[in-house]
């Protein structure tokens, strides 16, 4: 059996990736220090003979005593609430953790796919965002710890590819949602769902006119696996190009949850992007990939998970 290592494997995306890899007949080693990941996300895998948990902080040297075919480096806080509380660990996992993951791939001769983010584009001046756009990022703002950690991750990855001929892949992930997101995650969909299901006032920042594009987790995982099996080394956008305003999202969630919630407006956070929409032309051509799950279908699955989590 092929062996894959998933750093951040107990996180939202990482745990779904572990599930998928096991379904594809991989042995999986999940590495996580549970700073934002959850043991609940992988509890169903613990007794699986093809799954192994290695509790470890990837900012410390990574050792895996087995041959490795693939490494998926997904270790990082991803929510503004998290990375603004722990900016230094966020920077360290993007820099030192990435260095260690790349070093492990080099030592094992493994293919490595690294998770970057649409946040490398910052508050974009180009819309929609293509991979050749260099971004508009404030490196010293409150979001800079995450944005610059991922930009450094990309630079270090390409340096390893060019200098050591390492087989690297970079995925730029746009807003993704689905089961296993934390209730207190703070991003739009989990925040709105938690409030709507409790019939609390929904908190919308600014006037709600800022736009986002939301990709369901199953579609993202499919694209990630396809990218891992290509010979392409530069960044690839993965996300759903269907764009909507945050206010429209809040209204849709109230509708689908049959909530009695009202909407209140609060000041827009510093450096909050005004627009976010992926250009997925490259993924369509390279991977023959595009998202299949529409927003309502994906939200209904996510609502079911959140209802159980709140019960």
**Does 272 have pLDDT greater than 90?**
no
CB 152 within 8 A of CB 135: no
Helices 144-164 and 98-108 cross at an angle (nearest 10°) of: 20
Instruction: State residue 112 phi and psi, 5-degree precision.
Output: -130, 130
**pLDDT, average across residues 5-12:** 98
pLDDT band at residue 78 under the 50/70/90 scheme: very high
φ, ψ at 203 (rounded to 5°): -95, 110
CA–CA gap between residue 173 and residue 266 (Å, rounded): 27
Q: How confident is the model at residue 311 (pLDDT cuts 50, 70, 90)?
A: confident
Q: What is the pTM of this model?
A: 0.96
pLDDT at residue 243 above 90? yes
> Is-contact 31 65, C-beta < 8 A?
no
Structure confidence at residue 152 (pLDDT): 98
Confidence at residue 185, expressed as pLDDT on a 0 to 100 scale: 87
User: Which class would CATH give 188-209+243-275+301-310?
Assistant: alpha beta
Question: Domain spanning 2-178+215-241+277-292 has what CATH number?
Answer: 3.40.50.720
Radius of gyration of the chain (CA): 19
- Does residue 216 carry a catalytic annotation? no
Is pLDDT above 90 for 174? yes
Q: What average pLDDT does range 8-37 have in this prediction?
A: 98
184 pLDDT exceeds 90?
A: no
Calculate the CA dihedral of residues 120, 123, 128, 130 and round it to 10 degrees.
Answer: -30
Which residue out of 20, 146, 177, 216 is catalytically annotated? 146
pLDDT at 186: 86
* Mean local confidence (pLDDT), 272-283: 94
Span 113-129, mean pLDDT?
A: 96
- In the chain, where the domains are located: 2-178+215-241+277-292, 188-209+243-275+301-310
Whether the predicted pLDDT of 271 surpasses 90: no
Question: Under 8 Å CB-to-CB from 153, ≥6 apart: which residues?
Answer: 94, 95, 98, 114, 116
Mean pLDDT for 247-251 is 97
pLDDT for the residue numbered 219: 98
């Amino acid at each position: 059996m092929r062996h894959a290592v998933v750093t951040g494997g107990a996180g939202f995306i990482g745990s779904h990736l572990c599930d998928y890899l096991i379904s594809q007949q991989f042995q999986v080693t999940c590495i996580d220090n549970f700073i934002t990941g959850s043991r609940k996300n992988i509890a169903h895998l613990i007794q699986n003979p093809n799954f192994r948990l290695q509790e470890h902080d990837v900012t410390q040297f990574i050792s895996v005593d087995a041959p490795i075919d693939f490494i998926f480096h997904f270790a990082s806080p991803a929510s503004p609430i998290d990375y603004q509380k722990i900016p230094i660990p966020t920077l360290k996992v993007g820099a030192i953790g990435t260095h260690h993951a790349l070093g492990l791939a080099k030592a094992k001769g493994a293919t490595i796919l690294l998770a970057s983010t649409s946040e490398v584009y910052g508050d974009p001046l180009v819309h929609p965002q293509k991979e050749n756009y260099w971004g508009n990022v404030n490196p010293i703002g409150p979001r800079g710890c995450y944005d610059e950690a991922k930009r450094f991750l990309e630079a270090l990855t390409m340096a390893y590819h060019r200098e050591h001929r390492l087989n690297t892949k970079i995925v730029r992930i746009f807003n993704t949602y689905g089961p296993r997101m934390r209730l207190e995650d703070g991003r739009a969909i989990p925040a709105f769902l938690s409030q709507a299901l409790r019939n609390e006032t929904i908190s919308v920042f600014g006037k709600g006119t800022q736009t986002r594009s939301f990709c369901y987790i199953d579609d993202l995982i499919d694209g990630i696996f396809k990218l891992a099996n290509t010979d392409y080394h530069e960044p690839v956008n993965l996300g759903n190009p269907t764009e909507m305003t945050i206010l429209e999202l809040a209204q849709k969630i109230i509708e689908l949850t049959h909530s009695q919630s009202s909407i209140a407006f609060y000041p827009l956070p510093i450096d909050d992007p005004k627009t976010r929409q992926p250009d997925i032309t490259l993924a369509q051509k390279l991977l023959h990939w595009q998202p299949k799950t529409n927003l309502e279908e994906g939200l209904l699955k996510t609502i079911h998970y959140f209802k159980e989590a709140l019960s």
